A and B are shown apart, each in its own frame.
Chain A
Amino acid sequence: MLTRDFLKLAGLTIAQRILPPGLLNIWAEAAEAQARGRKVILVTFGGGVRTAETFSPAGLRNIPRLAGLQKEGYFYQNCWNQGVLSHFNSTASIVTGNWQRVDDFGFQAPASATLFEQYRKARKAGPLDAWVIATNKSFAAMGASTERDYGLAHGANVVLPKQLLLDAVSDIVKKPNGGDVADREAVHRRLETILQEGYEGVGWTIFKGGRQMDQHVRNTLTRALGEFINGPEAPTSGDELTFFITREVMREFGPRLILVNFWDMDVAHWGSYSLYLQAVTKTDRLTGMLWDEVQANPKYKDQTTLLILPELGRDGDMDTANGFLNHRSGDASCRNTWLLALGAGVKKGATDKPIRHIDVAATAAAMLGLKAEGMTGVAAPEILV
């Protein structure tokens, strides 16, 4: 018997003796999921939202879509962020399965391998199979880590719609005779120009022949811009463009792994509770539209799991200097939020059992049939049935 085969057999034997039967089932399920072509979409309520404004009795009115979908999925009412309470580190912890302590403003990539890298490397998946579409414009480095043996070659494509918008809108305002940012045509023209000329600065990591964006990708994104600008409602924010780009990427490339980071609710830092609530409701609506797309798109229907969670909460009203405006206190309102799992392979239910942010990547990895390497987080058995 070859040593490798011996070890494999020995490992399996040991596993059967020391691992709980449930965990063995997870791997069996995971392997099956791989065969079925399971897809995973992580949706983060970026910027941070408290349970008080979402899944509390008083908060449900702000999230009518998720409140309705809660019954269709599995709901964790305690999802803990035990790491650094900055945006980049919070989301990086979610996608790596390890608490990240890198630069708070995205000047450093995650220090351990991301789910995207692990997935692409293990499955030899192509560059169009893993995407990060993030309204937070400091997430350019979210797709790949500095971990040896991984890195950009295995990373996700990162698109930063808000940066794209920012460039377009700023350019219009700077026009000598004064531009009007409410002029849809002007915004559209400028967006397309930026896409043609300056994509490197807005987060694209897809290159063909070194520095040229893949024409297929460019056409897809241009189409998304058109949908965004000419949609029924006046486009106003980065999150809407994030949705349209995500939808177009799903329709065109059907990737198996996507992180969608909505962000508008970080307007809370401006100190307007009403604007914060409006942003929460908008994110709820866009997340609902994403779920609708999963249901309507044959590439995703019945084979996709959505894992929806806030990247962090916000400070509580009672304990801290300025309540919902900030997210640095470390109180329970800031660290403890929720997670809703929806779709393929997810039974209906709810639990008050805690789950940690770092468990999300391990869970998603299991859903994709991967044996994640080097993750501190562990897969959540409740949603791997």
Chain B
Amino acid sequence: MSSPPRLDFDHVPVTFAAYFVEQLRGWDRLFPAEQDYYARLGAYLEKAPAGLFARVSELEPRMGVTERTWPRGRFTLEQVDFLNRNPLYAEWRREIAAIFNEIGPALDGAVKGQRRLVIVMAPGELPVGPDRMWTRLPAGRRVRLAVPEESAQYAPLLLTGKGKPALAASLLDLCAGARGPHTAWTIETGTALLACSERATRLSYEQLQNYRTRLMGEVQKIAEEGEVRGPRQLGEKLKTLQPRDSEYAGDPLVAEFIRATLLAGNGTLLLNNTFVQWASVQALRRARPSCLVAGFGIRNKVKPFSGLLIFTDQEKATAIPTQADMLGSYVDLEVFYQYIWQEAGKYVEYRRETVFLFVAEGMDEMLVLGPPEFRLPEGELRLEAVHGACREWLSV
């Protein structure tokens, strides 16, 4: 792992510099794409035009930023709170956005283009046909598929070209092998994608059950013991709850990613699809993978009083049997497809040379969004053919 660049932020307004200083402090917890970004940012700032920060510099004293309220280099929840409650927050936010609009193109220009692939898989149980799928996305290209009789074969055929996972031809493993660690990810509610790769970064909501259960217990305990005063203090406390080896046997960088994802909000801990969506968005934002496969599932119906028992095992809390919520899952996922696609569009890496495949297990149609250079054979396609086209696209 590389060491953090020596960056001089002293001439940068503290409210702008603080976040980056904090990120550099946790250099070992950054993905290579993040490290690359901060290195480029630092290089840019050292030569930044003098006027870039003029308006924020003028704003800070009016906001009450002093050495006491905001010591240089410090960025804790106190500072976040200071900003959120400041009467000039909206103005500050506008100015920060303006700075990024200025910096963005310069930093983006230094990114080397690379073909990428994002596959978003919906569960086979959704109660709708292709005509009601992906309604919030651009029209794109609808492609007819010949799907296997057995739904369990769907993911392996698409990702490895074989009915049973054949790792030698796994898109994910080939990508990770060619482009390095953390360039291929699978994030899913269940476990179907785990078998389709062994070199990718693989996250499964189901597989993380032990860790999730322990986290919920710890949060419940913290709340009951009254040791923390509010959500901000709770957040600080939760930073210490890393997964144990028995709960996630992977690299420490991903372990911290999982902890942060599960504790970013209640939803990721409680709802399988929220976990997949938020983890996918975070992976795109932070690791910028070349190949990401997000596998959604069906979430359960919410039981009575669930909102009051957020950190309680729902199975034990009520005798009402657990039921799948097919229609609710469909509604949720239509929004999540949009949010994942939109998130990718924010980053230069995904804007020009990325193919998005929106598929659903067992569904005889898929939606393709991507540049015209991504070519598929005409007519109804077998999944093996789609796999082949993706492999060619990624050149792996």
Task: Give the B-binding residues of A (Cβ under 8 A).
Answer: 82, 84-86, 89, 99, 101, 103-105, 107, 162, 165-166, 169-170, 173, 178, 180-182, 234-238, 264, 267, 269-275, 277, 317-318, 321-325, 328, 330
Contacts and interface: CB of A to CB of B under 8 A. Distances in A.
Nearest to A163: B308
A273 B332 contact: yes
A264 B81 CA distance: 25
A271 B331 contact: no
Contact of A173 (B273, B317, B328, B332): B317
Given A84-B85, A170-B309, A323-B339, A271 B328 contact: no
A234 to B, nearest CB: 6
A325 B267 CA distance: 9
B84 A84 contact: yes
Contacts of B266: 269-270
B127 interface: no
A380 B331 CA distance: 39
Nearest to A85: B84
A275 B328 contact: yes
B93 interface: yes
Given A104-B85, A277-B331, A182 B338 contact: no
22 contacts: A84-B84, A84-B85, A105-B232, A169-B309, A170-B308, A170-B309, A170-B312, A173-B317, A178-B316, A180-B317, A181-B305, A181-B309, A182-B304, A182-B320, A267-B307, A271-B277, A271-B332, A272-B328, A273-B334, A274-B328, A317-B342, A328-B84
A89 B87 contact: no
A234 B302 contact: no
B271 A236 contact: no
Contact of A270 (B232, B274, B303, B317): B274
Identify the interface centre among B281, B308, B334: most chain A CB within 10 Å of its CB: B308
Contacts of B68: none
Contacts of B327: 274
Contacts of A330: 89-90, 93
Nearest to B314: A181
Identify the interface centre among A99, A235, A273, A317: most chain B CB within 10 Å of its CB: A273
Interface class of chain B by DSSP: helix
A84 B328 CA distance: 32
B342 A162 contact: no
Interface string B220-240: 000000000111100000000
A55 to B, nearest CB: 20
A383 B334 CA distance: 40
Contacts of B342: 317-318
B69 interface: no
A29 to B, nearest CB: 33
Contact of A275 (B265, B302, B318): B302
A325 B265 contact: yes
B304 A234 contact: yes
Contact of A238 (B299, B303, B308, B338): B308
Interface string B41-53: 0000000000000
Interface in B322-377: 325, 327-332, 334-335, 338-339, 342-343
Nearest to A235: B304
A44 B65 CA distance: 34
A317 B331 contact: no
A103 B334 CA distance: 36
Contact of B305 (A85, A165, A324): A165
A15 to B, nearest CB: 31
B271 A271 contact: yes
B249 interface: no
A89 B271 CA distance: 29
Contacts of A238: 307-308
B230 A105 contact: yes
Nearest to B94: A330
Contacts of B309: 169-170, 173, 181
A322 B304 contact: no
Contacts of B84: 84-86, 104, 328
A328 B85 CA distance: 11
Given A82-B90, A169-B305, A325-B265, 8 more contacts: A101-B86, A170-B312, A181-B303, A181-B305, A181-B318, A236-B304, A272-B328, A317-B338
A271 B85 contact: no
